[in-house]
Structure 1
């Protein structure tokens, strides 16, 4: 009987050799040892073990317990390692050495793939920002005066970034409804998700250094999915005048797979047309575009409720990175910056319940006949995505998921 290999089955799927996302995993037999993995089809390659078996010059980087050393090594090394991995996983000459280091995906536990240094979240969708403005300022301008001049963002909390599958404990805090005489304390009653895309920084910068638009690939190691959980009632009471704080900082979930930027060349598209002149450091006219054609699906308890298109985002990751560093703020290996809620122009493309239910005033009808305003205890939110790849293939991102647990007493 001819030998069949999981590498053959993976070739044309969303996690084929054209993708090769990085993650970190443990096994049931050795739960205390975290290892760098590369997803190929429905298997995970122990990259460090393969590198040792093949006496790779990059074995030290691939044998680390997290992606930090590889991320810090810089783009020439990222590209060299990617070429090496592609050869190992496509050239039959390597199969006898590679196959013993493949683990079926269901048999591994996926971990947070990198140590998060800083976390910044942006507000880059005009459709999302416009909807939020219309919900909260129905008699005023949908967008704030600065919105089309710069990518608005806030500095989040790196220590509460968690990997997909981590339980999300309902946050508690102060809230005050419009008819309440004074604020009250208790569990959030307006818990929401936000479907986002995250960019993971590898190469750091020096104090005072600015990152120009064309330098995104020199600093961003890869892309992941993000759920920026949001307590809308806590957020509404606290955000004036300094913006989001406790309504956001309790948890942010990320997918376990980091898709290399080089895997997304076929997904690059021009951003939507802009009607406001930009300052030179943000003006990407004449530059290679960094819009990305990512297709997201958002499901609650297994039912898809939205399909946000990332290609509709007004501000690109290159502009976000340029703005984030224009004042000389440094980048560190492991910095994570997220896009903000991804929303499109259609009702079924809105990336959070705040928009989907229009502030809770129009409950979302689910296929089982129930209605959803905000998340209940026990609800599970899953966000998946794919992007166009070479030759009609798809680049998979896996999923970021989390189940809501009751607030602690």
Structure 2
């Protein structure tokens, strides 16, 4: 790889090659692979080499490629790994990332958000139910989740408008309406569905890799004051649905294979449809920055529920998944104070401010920019960013 200049610390080495959708100037959006700080424009190379899936790389979303399924995904990765050694083929079609705009990488079909971190669920349980058990009775029997709003999943870099809604202070007699004053982040890992399933036929935990192509980074922005007033009894709604940001590059499960780790022990034992011999997690560490200042480093490896179990539970009632569906882990939090994946945890619901740039800090302010990056060993997963603007 000596012929490609890969800057030190670049998130995209030759063993990664994630796929995304880019647009240069007024050219048509199309699919590329990231390497270093450049993009390999795959359309002309695949066409010249008569690749069977070449026409899919000329599309403005990854959906057509995702629908081709696991054999094509694996063959494409093998092709990419060989391709980066072919200087004659690649060099004429390298484009600096600084010259393009990265777009939403796939058209999102449905969006589901889980609650898979035991540490996060325990932390929130202690905050909200200090006199009760932190985990509700169902939590260790099934991956708790809810359906979100696919239409407000946005590309990294999209400004986030501060949402307004009803909120009720604990000492108030009635709710008021206005901009959220407790705007928060949620650090998550998102799974991108490629191969659809059949309505009425659950997906087995052992078939996870046949349906899921890869992962993106997720910031599931949350308005805690709106959420706290509305969520009983039906769960999250307007406090979550205003925006969810995802990273522009989709990292394949094949690229992540070397970072798999065993699933933590699940006690009590799960029901048969959630049990399997291939259940794994990924050894991924996130870094969260607010206005450039590092505030947390949540670890993913100890997430209680595996992505295969999330998919199996999501479909056990016969619900189908479609190409482009996105499901996310829920907030990723660890056991240490600097491993918490949301401000509500980091600040004990605003009661104990953290220090950011030498100042006390609780929830997001207008103008704040949040950046979430992640890496699995030497394999980086890119970045998802968003800046808060007034409503």
Same-fold status (TM-score > 0.5): yes
| Partner Cα distance (2:8, 2:344) in 1 | 40
Residues 159/345 of structure 1: CA separation in 2 closer, same or farther (3 Å cut):
same
Task: Please say if 1:350 is aligned against 2:340.
Answer: yes
In structure 2, which of residues 94, 103, 111 is the aligned counterpart of residue 111 of structure 1?
Answer: 103
How far residue 176 of structure 1 moved from its aligned partner, in angstroms, is 0.5
Distance change in 2, residues 1:279/1:252 (3 Å): same
Answer yes or no: is 1:50 the counterpart of 2:39.
no
Q: Which residue among 144, 156, 181 is the counterpart of 1:164? A: 156
Structure 2: which 5+ residue stretches go unaligned? Answer: none
- Do the aligned partners of residues 378 and 146 (structure 1) sit closer, same or farther apart at CA in structure 2, a change above 3 Å counting? same
Q: Is the 8 A contact 2:10 2:37 kept in 1?
A: no
Aligned residue among 29, 46, 66 for 1:71: 66
**Is 1:227 the equivalent of 2:219?**
yes
Q: 1:139 to 1:72 in 2, by over 3 A?
A: same
Q: What count of residue pairs does the alignment treat as equivalent?
A: 391
* Structure 1 residue 274: Cα displacement: 2.1
Q: Does the 8 A contact of 1:48 with 1:64 survive in 2?
A: no
Match in the other structure for 2:29: 34
1:348 partner SS: helix
Query: Equivalent residue for 1:23?
Result: 20
When residues 131 and 161 of structure 1 are mapped into structure 2, their CA distance, relative to the original with a 3 A threshold, is same
What is the alpha-carbon distance in structure 1 between the residues aligned to residue 133 and residue 266 of structure 2? 18
2:82 aligned partner: 87
Q: Which moved more, 1:271-280 or 1:215-224?
A: 271-280
Aligned to 1:365: 355
Aligned pairs (5 A) from 1:5-404: 5-6=3-4, 9=6, 14-28=11-25, 30-31=26-27, 33-90=28-85, 94-284=86-276, 287-366=277-356, 368-388=357-377, 394-404=378-388
In 1, distance between residues paired with 2:9 and 2:291?
Answer: 29
| Deviation at residue 17 of structure 1 after TM alignment | 2.4
Q: Aligned to 1:312, what secondary structure does the other structure show?
A: coil
Q: Is the 8 A contact 2:67 2:196 kept in 1?
A: yes
* Whole-angstrom CA distance in 2 between matches of 1:75 and 1:221: 7
Contact 2:6/2:35, CA 8 A, preserved across alignment = no
Q: Deviations over 1:38-75 (max 9, x none)?
A: 00111101111211232322211222221011000000
- Runs (5+) with no aligned partner, structure 1: 389-393
1:10 deviates by 7.2
Q: In terms of mean alpha carbon deviation, does 59-68 or 195-204 score higher?
A: 59-68
Does the 8 Å CA contact 1:125/1:342 hold for their aligned counterparts? Answer: yes
How far the C-alpha of 1:5 sits from its partner, in A, is 2.7
Is the CA contact 2:230–2:237 (under 8 Å) kept in the aligned structure 1?
A: yes
Distance 1:57 1:369 in 2: 56
Cα deviation for residue 81 of structure 1 reads 1.2
Aligned position for 1:391:
none
C-alpha displacement at 1:84, in angstroms? 1.2
Instruction: Measure, in 2, the Cα distance between the counterparts of 1:349 and 1:13.
Output: 24
Deviation of the 1:225 alpha carbon: 0.2
CA distance in 2, matches of 1:283, 1:142: 25
Asked if structure 2 preserves the Cα contact closer than 8 Å seen for 1:268 and 1:289, the reply is: no
Kept in 2, the 8 Å contact 1:53–1:97? The answer is: no
Tell me how far 1:12 sits from its aligned partner: 9.7
Find the aligned partners of 2:77 and 2:264 in 1 and give their Cα distance: 31
Q: CA RMSD in A?
A: 1.5
Q: For 1:137 and 1:264, how far apart are their aligned partners in 2? A: 37
Tell me the distance in 1 between the aligned counterparts of 2:2 and 2:309.
Answer: 46
Sort the Cα spacing of 1:13 and 1:183 in 2 relative to 1 into closer, same or farther, 3 A: closer
Instruction: Give the match's secondary structure for 1:281.
Output: helix
Distance 1:201 1:236 in 2: 31
TM-score of the pair, normalised by structure 2: 0.97
